[in-house]
Chains A and B, each alone.
Chain A
């Protein structure tokens, strides 16, 4: 599938108290995907990314796991309304968190529901005989897919019940990884910050550290700036507290988008002049200074004006 499609909910499993796993099938063959890929699920006009938990090879179904947040939103709506036999509007799979094929060793770090893409990576590593190890942090009694992770990882799993245990496990793990290791982490912002800080302190180059965010940080309102839309020649002011994406939409400039939080990367646009202030979580460390692109849902301008390739 490349565009939106309707998938049938073939099974729903209560994985933990607040996590449900959904098995989605289609009468058409399902496209294989890279480990760490996600589906974009839509319901009542709201769309959210959910990691696929299988390894992606010859899938007979797409499996996602969804945690009830208690704050409303799509995840809670899925828990409340989706039943076996129902249908979901889905696009993807999309790959934004792939493994590095030439890594000598893969270190996977998961916290909470962040286990979902890591489970996909772990399954692929086991399928293809890639060297790997796992650090899994969870709240006691609330570890999604724990038995499967234990079975797949075996002796290569470090379990860390609680944030303190996770911090210790991460600190210890990043100090003793063999040369050539790549690290992949998914979890709350605080855990990802912990991982990147620990890696930096241990001398890891950022190119070896790959993180997937599932929540975006709160951003300040930013300073006002102006954009020049090349195709129309129109100049649009972007006030503080209003995103560039909103300004473009109000002016009738179509920009494909999804998350509106700088996480998914869908709204990327080209920049012809000026310097963007990147506030997204998509650009890798090596591209944080890139001046030729930006994600207008969150990113703003570091100069008074930007010229946009729109």
Chain B
């Protein structure tokens, strides 16, 4: 059974509500024209909206640089600012984590994952985060073989990993 902490995304992306004062719409290598459609819809509604596009090849590096960058962006905004993002789940959850860290609440976020190709996974043994494609992967920090659990920390946007073999001693699963 899937944990309740794992987001369930609808097949079709719902449009953002015409709320708030200004928006930043993030197109995180999204499929189709969803982000552009959202941006256009908000602009037509008379809201000040900017569109930030991150191409697929740049996505991993963009996520790594996101915490300070998003904090800096938020510091130049005021209450009334809304954020929308669409793209693969790992990128959307990473952005959500940064947004919440900056002080935004769910009512100010409009997020949609259009696919789940990879997961950012936290290793409780070494603290590293690895971008994992499957259910089992090698930790980028300690090289242990980890199993991805159906549990997501929405505050960090990461799934939980643990050593694949339950009886393995620390360090044995290298």
Contact = CB atoms under 8 A, between A and B. Distances in A.
A179 B19 contact: no
A175 B22 CA distance: 12
Max chain A Cβ within 10 angstroms of own Cβ: one of B20, B78, B81: B78
A178 B103 contact: yes
A205 B103 contact: no
A104 B103 contact: yes
Nearest to B76: A179
Interface string B85-106: 0000000000000000011110
A179 B81 contact: yes
B107 A179 contact: no
Interface string B2-35: 0000000000000000011110000000000000
Nearest to A201: B21
B82 interface: yes
A302 interface: no
B105 A203 contact: no
A203 B21 contact: yes
Given A179-B74, A207-B107, A202 B102 contact: no
A204 interface: yes
Nearest to B105: A207
Interface residues of B, number: 18
Max chain B Cβ within 10 angstroms of own Cβ: one of A104, A179, A202, A208: A179
Task: Classify the secondary structure of B's interface with A.
Answer: loop
A206 B106 CA distance: 12
Task: Classify the secondary structure of A's interface with B.
Answer: loop
Given A104-B103, A180-B102, A180-B103, A205 B78 contact: no
A83 B77 CA distance: 52
Given A203-B19, A203-B79, A203-B80, A180 B104 contact: yes
B21 A179 contact: no
Contacts of B80: 175, 202-204
Nearest to A199: B79
A103 to B, nearest CB: 8
A203 B103 contact: no
A181 interface: yes
Contacts of B103: 103-104, 178-181
B108 interface: yes
A204 B20 CA distance: 6
Contact of B105 (A174, A176, A177, A208): A208
Contacts of B107: 205-207
Contacts of A203: 19-22, 79-82
Max chain A Cβ within 10 angstroms of own Cβ: one of B75, B77, B79, B82: B79
Interface string A62-104: 0000000000000000000000000000000000000000011
A202 B80 CA distance: 6
Nearest to A102: B103
A104 B81 CA distance: 15
Max chain A Cβ within 10 angstroms of own Cβ: one of B19, B20, B103, B107: B103
Contacts of B77: 179
Interface in A180-208: 180-181, 202-208
Given A202-B21, A205-B108, A176 B102 contact: no
A177 B80 CA distance: 9
Which are the 4 A-B pairs with shortest beta-carbon distances?
A180-B103, A203-B80, A203-B21, A205-B107
Interface of B: 19-22, 74-75, 77-82, 102-105, 107-108
12 contacts: A175-B78, A176-B78, A177-B78, A179-B77, A180-B79, A181-B79, A181-B103, A202-B79, A202-B80, A205-B107, A207-B107, A208-B105
Given A179-B77, A179-B78, 18 more contacts: A175-B78, A175-B80, A177-B79, A178-B75, A178-B79, A179-B75, A179-B103, A181-B79, A203-B19, A203-B20, A203-B79, A203-B80, A204-B79, A205-B19, A205-B105, A205-B107, A207-B107, A208-B105
